[in-house]
Structure 1
Amino acid sequence: MKKTHQFQLAFRFFYLFSAFFIAGTQVQGQLDLNGRDNRQLQELTEFNEVFEGGQTGFVLYDLDYQTNLYGLNADRRFVPASNVKLLTFYLANKILGHRAPGLFYQEYDDHYEVWGSGYPLLLHPAFTGFDEAGTWLANREKPMVFNFPIGPGQSVSRYGPGWSWDDYNDSYVYERSSLPLFGNRLYLNLSPVDAEGRQVLLGAPVSIAGELRELPGQAARIRRSEFGNDFTVSPDFIDRGSFPLERPLHLSDQLVGNELSATFPQQQISVNQAPYPPAEAMTALEVSMPDTVFRKLLQNSDNFLAEQLVIQAAARRYRRPDANAVLKYAKDTLLPAIGVEDIRWVDGSGLSRYNLLSPRQMVRVVMALDQEIGRDRLLALLPQGGTSGTLESRFADKPKPYVWAKTGSLSGVLCLSGLLQTKRGKWLAFSFMHNNFTGQSSAYYKEMEKTLGWCYENL
């Protein structure tokens, strides 16, 4: 009996020690790699001469066996740039799914009172045929008053926290709003060549596209003032560069009212500043939110859609466009449920350098998306290496696609998080995060391709 008791104690000690050792090894993130593979990944990442020019984090996770494989600075916080859009998609999928509020309204005997929900597809040139709110507006027969309230939780600031003020003329920064039109952009394109070899410049909104002014001596192809929509173009504007061309508009209540009136001339439209009524006192116009939107968000890294989807999530949850409130809810409730805590998340697009997340947290978001929306759908939405989106010209060095991931870049920032399928068919989740470098991002992409290519061949 005494020997049996001693044996049981010894076995329990061995079991507890083994469990502790395994748990500790999992925390370090090297459970399933042998010494040779671990050293090889260290050479490719930790001791990489290119990566030494900045700060690098890398996490590799085996989805099939649910184990960490490798981690470098796994818990250090990095500026994620557009990798934030993975969080935005997670939030939108959780709160919206495939349905969203297109508008809020109150119907009276003689008119409608209307408030915006952040719905991004209204008259958007890239989503012709998907704009159900536009169809609803076209079929109203009573006068409509569009309200643009002011104050915290009632209005939307044109820029997110930490955005660069002087990006107003660049094609990747579009103002945020509760009632966007035309994707909050000027859209210009050339018509097909006619029988006589001529092309005509087309644009939306027409009132602005028709007022382009050629400015002799202007070096920039197209420019506008910060708080106006007076676009000037260079003398060689038509012959220089490619079309279509998109530039951000500066929004105002009056501009939106005028454009709605021009688009729906049969309607009597006016603007006001009445605050959002209580949720139960207004009706939500329910519209579709197709995967076409999410695909453009992720594959094209569309900053406008990212910001408006956060506003849409707020409108769904609170019946007002309070982006700060819905991001707080995500950080306090949604993300801790998947093991993502103690992060800084301030916008939907990742344009802000205030955002801070770790590679391990990014991988957990990827894992949650993989489990909750299904791998096939996730693969169809993410950029595919060598094939689509922002990875069309990257990771094309293998016989078949092997990387599906969201890119993210700012000056001195380059991040890549997503899924990898190895030659043996194993599925891995990964996150590469680089900050504070001064070299070319192309050199970093080349080294990431070496690392993930090695994973494809050897894991």
Structure 2
Amino acid sequence: MRIPLLVLCCLFFLGVSQAQDTSRRATTRALDNRIENSLFGEAHTGFALYDLEAQRPVYGYNANRYFVPASNTKLLTFLVANRLLEAAAPAVVYQAFEDRIELWGTGYPLLLHPAFVGYDTLLPWLATRDLPLVLNFPNGDIPPRYGAGWSWDDFNYGYVFERSLLPVYGNRLYLEYREAGDTGREALFGSPAEVVDNLVMDAAQERTISRVEGSNRFTVNANFYRPYNFPLERALSVDSATTVRYLSSALPGSSIRSGDRPRPPLDALRTISTPLPDTLYRKLLQDSDNYLAEQLILLAATSRYGRPDEEAFFEWATDTLFQEMGLGEISFRDGSGLSRYNLVKPEQLVQVIAALDREVGRERLRSLLPTGGINGTLKQRFDNQPEPYVWAKTGSLSGVICISGLLRTRSGRWLAFSFMHNNVMGSSREYYATMEDILGWVYENLR
């Protein structure tokens, strides 16, 4: 008796489906056991795995709960920046008159930035203007120097930079201590020169270098001039006067002054557009650069609205863009992740990774993210396999450890993953070791 072909096909696919269900249940049991029998069992931990080819979830542990994402927020920032600024970013907007050029900032982050020499297209344009330049800073345009939910007393550290519409030198003091020419002697180099030349020695202070809040007056102690302290970066206090002064010093042949004329409508302005190099995105993601993240938000808002309307931009991202992507409700309050007002679920972050995988391209995305055991914030982590298998963005604040990105299994299966931990009491080393064990198991066992 012959069995109809349709029946055979149904039986075959039923068998495949049952095998897949059995495999998923086995994966769930194995991962549940590894999590619950580790220090994560008593932690506030979320974990999600997502199959990038099948476009479906593979595993979730508290994956639908909200967590403070710390610098995993930069994945959201990269997503919106890539969508809005992929073709070209507005470096500056201006109006030209017979006797002057009036300019308004956009948030463009590369002007005189020490890490982007050769990429900055705005400086050469400014240098070739024959007319006086008026840099306008109308009160309605000036963003708060810190983002919502930031800690004000972080000003003395090297990871919090003030935000502005026309940043110069990356809004930072940059210092190197190296050999001066053929003299054989070491000397201090850096920018802006005005700040470098006016460091004050205070042998009695505890900090190697310290800044008076609200100023650009730095004091250093007796241990400052040690090679292991360099290169060194610290935030500068930013206002219109210092911006004009620093830029005038860099362009000594130009006439530059400040103004406060309101920004005209976009159709009355000319725009100098520039492509953003992958070098910028690589520094954003691999070095977790907070300054670039915040400036990209201002730049994207200016690109969308013609002015740096952050409030409208975040509202559009959360109420329109993320909803259209099917992500649901996300609290997206700054670009860098310094804010504890940001809230996102692991299951949402793997969807963001999946969207980036499609829109950016997997090879390019891998080149931008830190690679486990190779570079960036993962240089010393996830090197427990014979080949790189994790490409991911890290995130950390006090009590917060997160990592989200791509994982390739030994069999070649591509997954998006998000591991999120809040209210962390133990050391980050223990948490990373446990995540390395669990993701290593995924690498070995998921076919």
* Fold shared, TM-score > 0.5 on shorter chain: yes
Runs of 4 or more above 4 Å deviation? 193-196
Task: Tell me the alpha carbon deviations over residues 10-69 of structure 1, each in whole angstroms, 9 at most, x when there is no partner.
Answer: x9xx9xxx9xxx9xx9xxxx9573443322100122x13311342000011111222211
- 2:39 matched to 1:50? yes
Return closer, same or farther for 1:294/1:31 CA change in 2, 3 Å cut-off: farther
1:67 pairs, out of 56, 61, 64, with 56
Instruction: Provide the C-alpha distance between the structure 2 equivalents of 1:415 and 1:48, rounded to a whole number of angstroms.
Output: 20
- 2:289 matched to 1:289? no
Task: Tell me the alpha carbon deviations over residues 62-91 of structure 1, each in whole angstroms, 9 at most, x when there is no partner.
Answer: 112222111111110000000000000000
Instruction: Give the equivalent residue in structure 1 for 2:390.
Output: 403
Instruction: Provide the C-alpha distance between the structure 2 equivalents of 1:404 and 1:70, rounded to a whole number of angstroms.
Output: 19
Instruction: Provide the C-alpha distance between the structure 1 equivalents of 2:22 and 2:60, rounded to a whole number of angstroms.
Output: 12
1:108 pairs, out of 65, 85, 97, with 97
Partners of 1:56 and 1:73 within 8 A in 2: yes
Match of 2:198, SS? coil
Return closer, same or farther for 1:48/1:172 CA change in 2, 3 Å cut-off: farther
Instruction: Provide the C-alpha distance between the structure 2 equivalents of 1:48 and 1:320, rounded to a whole number of angstroms.
Output: 52
Q: Residue type matched to 2:418 in 1?
A: S
Instruction: Give the equivalent residue in structure 2 for 1:417.
Output: 404
Instruction: Give the equivalent residue in structure 2 for 1:238.
Output: 225
Instruction: Provide the C-alpha distance between the structure 2 equivalents of 1:31 and 1:322, rounded to a whole number of angstroms.
Output: 48
1:94 deviation in Å?
0.6
Moved more, 261-270 or 76-85: 261-270
Q: Residue type matched to 2:419 in 1?
A: F
2:337 pairs, out of 328, 331, 350, with 350
Instruction: Give the equivalent residue in structure 1 for 2:23.
Output: 33
Task: Tell me the alpha carbon deviations over residues 326-345 of structure 1, each in whole angstroms, 9 at most, x when there is no partner.
Answer: 11111122222222121111
Instruction: Provide the C-alpha distance between the structure 2 equivalents of 1:144 and 1:127, rounded to a whole number of angstroms.
Output: 23
1:367 pairs, out of 331, 339, 354, with 354
Moved more, 277-286 or 233-242: 233-242
Partners of 1:53 and 1:437 within 8 A in 2: no
Instruction: Give the equivalent residue in structure 2 for 1:431.
Output: 418
1:311 pairs, out of 284, 298, 318, with 298
1:146 deviation in Å?
0.3
Instruction: Provide the C-alpha distance between the structure 2 equivalents of 1:85 and 1:44, rounded to a whole number of angstroms.
Output: 29
Instruction: Provide the C-alpha distance between the structure 1 equivalents of 2:305 and 2:152, rounded to a whole number of angstroms.
Output: 29
Instruction: Provide the C-alpha distance between the structure 1 equivalents of 2:146 and 2:209, rounded to a whole number of angstroms.
Output: 21
Partners of 2:390 and 2:406 within 8 A in 1: yes
Q: Residue type matched to 1:396 in 2?
A: D
Where in structure 2 are the equivalents of 1:147-166 lying within 5 Å?
147-151=136-140, 154-166=141-153
Partners of 1:144 and 1:270 within 8 A in 2: yes
Q: Residue type matched to 1:331 in 2?
A: T
Instruction: Provide the C-alpha distance between the structure 2 equivalents of 1:89 and 1:270, rounded to a whole number of angstroms.
Output: 34
Instruction: Give the equivalent residue in structure 2 for 1:83.
Output: 72
Instruction: Give the equivalent residue in structure 1 for 2:125.
Output: 136
Partners of 1:32 and 1:67 within 8 A in 2: no
- In structure 1, the gaps of 5 or more residues are 1-10
Match of 2:351, SS? helix
Instruction: Provide the C-alpha distance between the structure 2 equivalents of 1:129 and 1:341, rounded to a whole number of angstroms.
Output: 41
Instruction: Provide the C-alpha distance between the structure 2 equivalents of 1:240 and 1:140, rounded to a whole number of angstroms.
Output: 40
Partners of 2:92 and 2:271 within 8 A in 1: yes
Match of 2:186, SS? coil
1:203 pairs, out of 171, 174, 190, with 190
Task: Tell me the alpha carbon deviations over residues 276-329 of structure 1, each in whole angstroms, 9 at most, x when there is no partner.
Answer: 111111111111211111111001100000000000001101111112211111
Instruction: Provide the C-alpha distance between the structure 1 equivalents of 2:424 and 2:43, rounded to a whole number of angstroms.
Output: 4
Moved more, 176-185 or 334-343: 334-343
Instruction: Provide the C-alpha distance between the structure 2 equivalents of 1:356 and 1:77, rounded to a whole number of angstroms.
Output: 6
- In structure 2, the gaps of 5 or more residues are 1-6
Return closer, same or farther for 1:272/1:122 CA change in 2, 3 Å cut-off: same
1:400 deviation in Å?
0.5
Instruction: Give the equivalent residue in structure 2 for 1:97.
Output: 86
Return closer, same or farther for 1:363/1:63 CA change in 2, 3 Å cut-off: same
Q: Residue type matched to 1:82 in 2?
A: S
2:106 pairs, out of 117, 132, 143, with 117
Instruction: Provide the C-alpha distance between the structure 2 equivalents of 1:369 and 1:99, rounded to a whole number of angstroms.
Output: 18
Instruction: Provide the C-alpha distance between the structure 2 equivalents of 1:119 and 1:436, rounded to a whole number of angstroms.
Output: 35
Where in structure 2 are the equivalents of 1:149-228 lying within 5 Å?
149-151=138-140, 154-192=141-179, 194-228=181-215
- 2:431 matched to 1:444? yes
Moved more, 119-128 or 432-441: 432-441
1:178 deviation in Å?
0.6
Match of 1:241, SS? helix
Instruction: Provide the C-alpha distance between the structure 2 equivalents of 1:405 and 1:437, rounded to a whole number of angstroms.
Output: 20
CA RMSD of the aligned region, Å? 1.7
Partners of 1:101 and 1:284 within 8 A in 2: yes
Q: Residue type matched to 1:167 in 2?
A: D
1:273 deviation in Å?
1.1
Where in structure 2 are the equivalents of 1:310-349 lying within 5 Å?
310-349=297-336
Instruction: Give the equivalent residue in structure 2 for 1:393.
Output: 380
Partners of 1:53 and 1:438 within 8 A in 2: no
The size of the alignment, in residue pairs, is: 432
- 2:370 matched to 1:383? yes
Return closer, same or farther for 1:211/1:307 CA change in 2, 3 Å cut-off: same
Moved more, 59-68 or 351-360: 59-68
1:399 deviation in Å?
0.7
1:98 deviation in Å?
4.2
Match of 1:335, SS? helix
Instruction: Provide the C-alpha distance between the structure 2 equivalents of 1:315 and 1:308, rounded to a whole number of angstroms.
Output: 11
Partners of 1:31 and 1:68 within 8 A in 2: no
Q: Residue type matched to 1:75 in 2?
A: N
Q: Residue type matched to 1:328 in 2?
A: E
Q: Residue type matched to 1:254 in 2?
A: A
1:242 deviation in Å?
2.7
Partners of 1:185 and 1:249 within 8 A in 2: yes
Return closer, same or farther for 1:223/1:193 CA change in 2, 3 Å cut-off: same
Instruction: Give the equivalent residue in structure 2 for 1:6.
Output: none
Q: Residue type matched to 2:83 in 1?
A: K
1:274 deviation in Å?
1.1
Match of 1:377, SS? helix
